[in-house]
Chains A and B, each alone.
Chain A
Amino acid sequence: MRAFTRLQGIAVPLMRSNIDTDAIIPKQFLKSIKRSGFGKNLFDDWRYLDTGEPGQDVSERQPDPEFVLNQGRYRGAEVLLAGENFGCGSSREHAVWALDDYGIRAVIAPDFADIFHNNSFKSGLLPIRLEKTIVEQLAKECETSEGYQLSIDLEAQTVTTPGGEVFAFEVDAFRKDCLLNGLDDIELTLQQRTRIKDYESRRRESAPWLFSVPQLEPDAGEQ
């Protein structure tokens, strides 16, 4: 996984509540069996006036000029400011991949849906919870000042405004360590192989039904 340490980048405000993962990346793009290439369809229904389908040539589509990501001043944005309960709905990690592929490295919101929050850390996207009033303040500053950039320091757990105001945020120690060092948590977990095997042996004794595998006929009940 790509490490996240420090970032200074253009912020873009999308201050709606309950932005769901269907909005972040609509379902038709989930048919891809790849991890990359979702950025051009990030917020597809909001970003384009025509209907999005997989495999389109984006240069021939009609962007909605009203939508923030289509406004020149936010080009190259790396920090997304959003409303409450960001990332609710489906578990699709494609939502994180789409934000990442577009170039967003951090999302700042009052709170996040649980699965989205987990998924973010797995792909090197930093979700930052700040008080609603603070996020609203940042969004307002962002709207009134073109080229507004936020500085994020994961080690110090701070967000700093261009005016020098500093806001602290919380992050789990383990997740912070994984992000700072770009650690692959599967490899880390496999270092505990013996513990997992010991647990399994105990459970096989106390709850053997959890490990029984039925003998199914592979072709039973063909329609």
Chain B
Amino acid sequence: MPGKTLYDKVWDAHIVNQQEDGTVLLYIDRHLVHEVTSPQAFEGLQIAGRKPWRTGSMLAVADHNVPTQGRDQGIADPVSRLQVETLDANCATFGVTEFRMNDLRQGIVHVIGPEQGATLPGMTVVCGDSHTSTHGAFGALAFGIGTSEVEHVMATQTILQKKAKNMLVSVDGQVGPGVTAKDIVLAVIGRIGTAGGNGCTIEFGGDAIRALSMEGRMTVCNMSIEAGARAGMIGVDQTTVDYLKERPFAPRGEMFAQAEAAWLDLKSDADAHFDEVVHIDAASIEPQVTWGTSPEMVTGVGGAVPDPVSLEQAKVEGARRALEYMDLEPATPMKDIKLDRVFIGSCTNSRIEDLRAAAAVIGDRRVADSVKQAMVVPGSGLVKLQAEEEGLDKIFINAGFEWRDPGCSMCLAMNADRLEAGERCASTSNRNFEGRQGQGGRTHLVSPAMAAAAALAGHFVDVRTF
């Protein structure tokens, strides 16, 4: 009998019951909650007269609708305000721990979970948000769910699911200088496609993944959903364990030692079977820039916008449509693409390491005059505080960036931060879909270092030689 993958191990440890058709009742350890996908679930509980099964498993925060400036004046948009107030009221009613908007610990749900130690190795983690895959960086099985499932988890602490296939993406060797976790994951999506991981849980392995910090690993797992995977996972090692020490929700003292011993076993066995295996040569990855309206429409910064007819038949029509929306001509060098705005933030790239990388590129240079707005939105109040202690805020502000309060912000433009129609943005977020950052807005996904460099130059540049 072959060994087990990491996914097999975590899955097996959470089976409450298995039906004949393979549907499993899976126990959920951690339930993260935000304001957009929870109100109807709380309402459902109330209507049915049910209570949450285990409120201690829940942690709530408002992140999508919160303003990133002027918070002392509350939320101006009444519809957004009602949604945030509804979360506050539901958490108070049901006794759910919530970090409210003006709490220093508030931030993007996928930043604060790990930051608080609420995400632990071997856990099952769910949230009504597709980027829940982020938490797989800790050797957890973490995936996004819809609102009906949010209600199901609240009421029963379980979820009904069939097991996905095992896929291994091995990033072999080491990346060159200036190439980051974001570039790795965009290159992976470019290779396997936006549906390449459909029906699979992807484990990321290989030396280039092992070499990443926890922040980098979170960036990689965050975007596994952009490859269509149910979840992304990375095996536990000393980097994982070291990150978790002294976090508020993590175990302490003797219990930490006990947990650590169990955690270090959370990796795939050497003889584990994967249904699919993809190898990528890390050294071949250059800084990535997307050119279209799907994350798979990506190329190296030294490349050019492709001619749709050069693509495989099934992708031609989509690429044509994308170029029309993006207002780009085939063969345009990526470096010739000029930008109106730059956004550094989102659950993909708003952690301290991301801000350090962007600040390191900036130094004492200034944002190009042609760029209308460049903004930095830290992932949490604690990230913001840490950055300020390191003086990063000064570097950004002196360069002409706006230094904002934490939230999802212009990643999806549910608050006031958005692109106007026709505007072009270098963004460290995760989706370049039509209208994602504002109706008619055009998004190019890049790493924080590449976004910072683009802000200074006014167009894309190769951060390695900038």
Residues of B within 8 A of A158 (CB): none
CB distance from A129 to the nearest CB of B (A): 11
Residues of B within 8 A of A85 (CB): 194-195, 198, 228
Residues of B within 8 A of A222 (CB): 102-104
In the complex, residue of chain A having the shortest beta-carbon distance to the beta carbon of B315: A17
Q: How far is the CA of A216 from the CA of B19 in the complex (A)?
A: 39
Q: How far is the CA of A175 from the CA of B37 in the complex (A)?
A: 23
Question: Is there a chain A Cβ closer than 8 Å to B431's Cβ?
Answer: yes
Question: Is there a chain A Cβ closer than 8 Å to B255's Cβ?
Answer: yes
Residues of B within 8 A of A94 (CB): 147
Q: How far is the CA of A196 from the CA of B24 in the complex (A)?
A: 12
CB distance from B146 to the nearest CB of A (A): 4
Per-residue 0/1 for A19-56: is the Cβ within 8 Å of any B Cβ (1 yes, 0 no)?
01011001110111111000000000100000110110
Q: For chain B, residues 138 to 163, give those with C-beta under 8 angstroms from any C-beta of chain A.
A: 143-149, 151-152, 155-158, 160-162
**Is there an interface contact between B25 and A189, defined as CB atoms closer than 8 Å?**
yes
Question: Is there a chain B Cβ closer than 8 Å to A78's Cβ?
Answer: no
**Is there an interface contact between A195 and B17, defined as CB atoms closer than 8 Å?**
yes
**Is there an interface contact between A111 and B195, defined as CB atoms closer than 8 Å?**
yes
CB distance from A22 to the nearest CB of B (A): 5
**Is there an interface contact between B83 and A92, defined as CB atoms closer than 8 Å?**
no
> Given A45-B434, A92-B146, A189-B152, A30 and B36 touching (CB < 8 A)?
yes
State which of B145, B198, B199 has its C-beta within 8 Å of the C-beta of A91: B145
How many B residues, CB 8 Å from partner?
90
**Is there an interface contact between A213 and B413, defined as CB atoms closer than 8 Å?**
no
CB distance from B406 to the nearest CB of A (A): 10
Question: Is there a chain B Cβ closer than 8 Å to A208's Cβ?
Answer: yes
Q: How far is the CA of A16 from the CA of B129 in the complex (A)?
A: 24
Question: Is there a chain B Cβ closer than 8 Å to A71's Cβ?
Answer: no
State which of A90, A96, A209, A220 has its C-beta within 8 Å of the C-beta of B130: A90
Per-residue 0/1 for A201-223: is the Cβ within 8 Å of any B Cβ (1 yes, 0 no)?
00100011111111010011111
Question: Is there a chain A Cβ closer than 8 Å to B412's Cβ?
Answer: yes
In the complex, residue of chain B having the shortest beta-carbon distance to the beta carbon of A114: B230
State which of A31, A172, A214 has its C-beta within 8 Å of the C-beta of B83: A31
> Given A31-B414, A174-B23, A221-B103, A91 and B129 touching (CB < 8 A)?
yes
In the complex, residue of chain B having the shortest beta-carbon distance to the beta carbon of A120: B146
In the complex, residue of chain A having the shortest beta-carbon distance to the beta carbon of B252: A212
Q: How far is the CA of A174 from the CA of B161 in the complex (A)?
A: 10
Question: Is there a chain A Cβ closer than 8 Å to B27's Cβ?
Answer: yes
> Given A33-B39, A189-B160, A91 and B128 touching (CB < 8 A)?
yes
Residues of B within 8 A of A203 (CB): 27
Residues of B within 8 A of A138 (CB): none
Question: Is there a chain A Cβ closer than 8 Å to B378's Cβ?
Answer: no
Question: Is there a chain B Cβ closer than 8 Å to A190's Cβ?
Answer: yes
Q: Which 6 A-B pairs have the closest CB atoms?
A: A221-B104, A122-B148, A93-B146, A119-B146, A33-B39, A91-B144
Besides A52-B439, A209-B251, A221-B104, 13 other A-B contacts (C-beta < 8 A): A22-B436, A31-B36, A31-B79, A84-B195, A93-B148, A113-B195, A115-B144, A172-B23, A186-B156, A195-B16, A199-B27, A207-B262, A220-B105
Contacts A/B (CB < 8 Å), 30 sampled: A16-B321, A18-B195, A18-B318, A28-B414, A31-B65, A31-B80, A31-B83, A34-B40, A35-B147, A45-B434, A54-B79, A84-B314, A88-B195, A90-B412, A90-B431, A92-B37, A93-B40, A93-B128, A96-B146, A115-B146, A119-B149, A186-B155, A189-B156, A192-B17, A195-B16, A195-B17, A196-B27, A203-B27, A209-B250, A216-B97
Residues on B lying within 8 angstroms of A by beta carbon are 16-17, 19-23, 25, 27, 29, 36-37, 39-40, 43, 48, 50, 53, 56, 64-65, 71, 77, 79-80, 82-83, 86, 97, 102-105, 120, 122-123, 128-130, 132, 143-149, 151-152, 155-158, 160-162, 164, 194-195, 198-199, 228-230, 248-251, 255-256, 258-259, 262, 294, 314-315, 317-318, 321, 381, 412-414, 421, 431, 433-436, 439
